[in-house]
Amino acid sequence: MAVRELAGKDPKTTIVLKHIPPYGFLYYKQLQSLFRQCGQVKSIVFDGAKAFVEFSRNPTERFKTLPAVYMAVKMSQLKVSLELSVHAAEEIEGKVQGGTVSKLRNTRVNVDFQKQTVDPMQVSFSTLDRSQTVADLLLTVDVTEVVEVGHFWGYRTDEKSAELLRKLTAEMNQLELAPLPAHPHPDLVCLAPFADFDKENYFRAQILYVSGNSAEVFFVDYGNRSHVDLDLLMEIPCQFLELPFQALEFKICKMRPSAKSLVCGEHWSSGASGRFASLVSGRALLVKVFSVVHSVLHVDVYRYSGAQDVVNIRDVLIREGHAELAEESYESKQSHEVLKGLFSKSAENVVDASVPSPGKDDEKHLIRILLESFSSNRLGAPNCKAMLHGPFNPYELKCHSLTRISKFRCVWIEKESINSVIISDAPADLHQRMLVAASLSVNATGSTMLLRETSLMPPIPGLPALLSMLFAPVMELR
């Protein structure tokens, strides 16, 4: 249910807004400005009366719910008013091309702030949002950046991919490049220099953060990062934004930290991190794609050991006690079935499926006409107000008491608490989480408990039972 409510978007980076007015994509700049204090907005998908606002995440950080998502959901809790200045739908249809734009009322539209595009989308979301980069289920990759155990970046080393990257690099570096037109900011895509084999070339890069006179950039076609002086960053010509970024993000499937790793306080122990880095860093690996979830490839990873043997990295980590087997999420299993069906078809069918339909070109043309009319003020000043509902995240958690006497009482966490908004980082994990409070009060009717000075305990399987046993004066095992 939660997966459907988010239309396949990543719950760690996305919030939902409701009561979006007709032709909501016209007001994407207003919507972006409403969340400017929360974080950098990467994209907004408009789907009827809903909008899905996705925030940018640092690709070199581990998977976690972004602070921007917490802050956005907190706005709803604090009842912050979200208001747009809009035109009536009938007014738009009457003033633009005799009403032919009315077909856009129910069109899903994606606004990409990185690529600065506004395009129509397919009506039903696909689990293969990165399928254009997966030409085969078996890939040979070079690992360029290890984020954490089981999570890394790399790029394909097959002949076709290598030729594509060589051609792209040559085309970019034969142009006369211009400096950035504005001050650089996080999430901006630009061109940055990198020295390889004593030769410096410019490559496509995303700015991670700016500090003083330098910036840390992430090379979107290779997956590595580097510190670069600000005056060396160049503007990227718009034609080089059309090709999808070639770096691939990987996550080893069917694996989670063992108890041995978790009890050290972090998600993975330092021993597990060091061992994983020694197994994959700077190496060419063979990966078998299991699924594609939120643009991340869930894979089995193999490295060559000796002349002929291949070793499964997951098996090594489990054998040494750093990890244990785990079940894949619902979305991953769903994607796996789609992938199996996709690659069981002929190569011609796979290519044909990715060709855009003529209808989408018509919609794109109409969207451009509408946006031009809106920006040139041909529609006049907006004369209506639209109040939005939200933001929501369907993975927000609710708390209940562990004691039988208070089990059916409502639980409220004080609004000033850092835990007043709790969002599940691992929806597929069925183990209970624990929240402890130093102070508790009950309302006059006894129906609601208010918690103060709370701490959210780490996600250790069986922790509620372990703590109950530790503090029980008498215990009987059955």
pLDDT at 147: 94
Looking at the fold, whether 290 and 150 belong to one and the same domain comes out as: yes
The CA distances from residue 425 to 11, 55, 153, 396, in Å, are 8, 16, 21, 10
Looking at the fold, whether 111 and 43 belong to one and the same domain comes out as: yes
Is residue 296 a part of any domain in this protein?
A: yes
pLDDT in tens, the chain (478 residues): 677 888 889 999 999 999 999 999 999 999 999 999 999 999 999 999 999 999 999 999 988 899 999 999 999 999 999 999 999 888 888 877 655 788 888 789 999 998 889 999 864 444 444 445 567 889 999 999 999 999 999 999 999 999 999 999 999 999 999 999 989 999 999 999 998 877 899 999 999 999 999 999 999 999 999 999 999 999 999 999 989 999 999 999 999 998 888 777 678 889 999 999 999 987 889 999 999 999 999 999 999 876 667 899 999 999 999 999 999 988 999 999 988 888 876 444 544 444 555 667 788 888 888 888 888 887 788 889 999 998 999 999 988 888 888 888 899 999 888 899 999 887 777 788 899 999 999 999 889 999 999 999 887 778 888 888 888 899 888 8
Is residue 373 a part of any domain in this protein?
A: yes
Is residue 399 a part of any domain in this protein?
A: no
Is residue 368 a part of any domain in this protein?
A: yes
End-of-domain residue from the set 215, 236, 257? 236
Looking at the fold, whether 291 and 153 belong to one and the same domain comes out as: yes
Looking at the fold, whether 211 and 253 belong to one and the same domain comes out as: no
pLDDT at 346: 47
* CA–CA dist 119, 43 (Å, integer): 11
Strands 410-413 and 138-148: unpaired
Which residues are paired to 47 by β-bridges? 50
Is residue 380 a part of any domain in this protein?
A: yes
pLDDT at 101: 80
Identify the CA nearest to 341 among candidates 119, 131, 149.
131
Is residue 168 a part of any domain in this protein?
A: no
* CA–CA dist 287, 312 (Å, integer): 10
Looking at the fold, whether 291 and 333 belong to one and the same domain comes out as: yes
Identify the CA nearest to 312 among candidates 248, 273, 254, 262.
254
Q: Is 34 exposed, middle or buried (0-12, 13-18, 19+ CB in 10 A)?
A: buried
pLDDT at 90: 86
Looking at the fold, whether 367 and 441 belong to one and the same domain comes out as: no
Looking at the fold, whether 148 and 285 belong to one and the same domain comes out as: yes
Q: Which domain holds residue 381?
A: 2-125+355-392
Give me the CATH number covering residue 271: 2.40.50.90
Number of structural domains, the chain? 4
Is residue 422 a part of any domain in this protein?
A: yes
pLDDT at 250: 96
Is residue 165 a part of any domain in this protein?
A: no
Looking at the fold, whether 213 and 71 belong to one and the same domain comes out as: no
Looking at the fold, whether 136 and 277 belong to one and the same domain comes out as: yes
The model's pTM:
0.86
Looking at the fold, whether 367 and 280 belong to one and the same domain comes out as: no
Looking at the fold, whether 198 and 305 belong to one and the same domain comes out as: no
Looking at the fold, whether 145 and 256 belong to one and the same domain comes out as: yes
